[in-house]
Amino acid sequence: MLNKIHLVGRAGRDPEIRFFETGKSVCNFTLAVNRRTSNRDEPPDWFDLELWGKTAEIAANYVKKGHQVGIIGSLRFDRWKDKNTGEDRTKPVILVDQLELLTSKKDSEAMTGDDF
């Protein structure tokens, strides 16, 4: 069985990192990915990303909103019961194994929050 996802897109927000007492770290942010169509008006697809360990720390230190990144990971579904309705809920999350920084330092310095 194969569960592998390759995406290239732009960070939708600055990554948020959390550190645990065990020494592990987790980082989360969203990724906007444009579809391969000629229609520029089509909105991007949004993905929730979860990164762990050294990859999480790299993302937290070097990725900012609007930066272009490439990721390789796997699809996972978070499941929980809604506290208000009691209904079962699910949310797809990409568990990132590899992160590639695609925004150059020059592009990063020229980019502002309004460019995204």
Smallest Cα–Cα separation from 49: which of 21, 15, 80? 15
Q: What's the CA gap between 58 and 32, in Å, rounded?
A: 19
Q: What is the pLDDT of residues 29-84, one digit of tens each?
A: 999 999 877 677 889 999 999 999 999 999 999 999 999 999 999 999 999 999 99
pLDDT at 9 over 80: yes
Q: What is the mean pLDDT of residues 86-105?
A: 93
Q: What's the CA gap between 73 and 7, in Å, rounded?
A: 9
Query: What integer pLDDT is reported at residue 113 of this predicted model?
Result: 46
Question: DSSP secondary-structure letter at 46?
Answer: E
Domains and their CATH numbers in the chain: 1-78 (2.40.50.140)
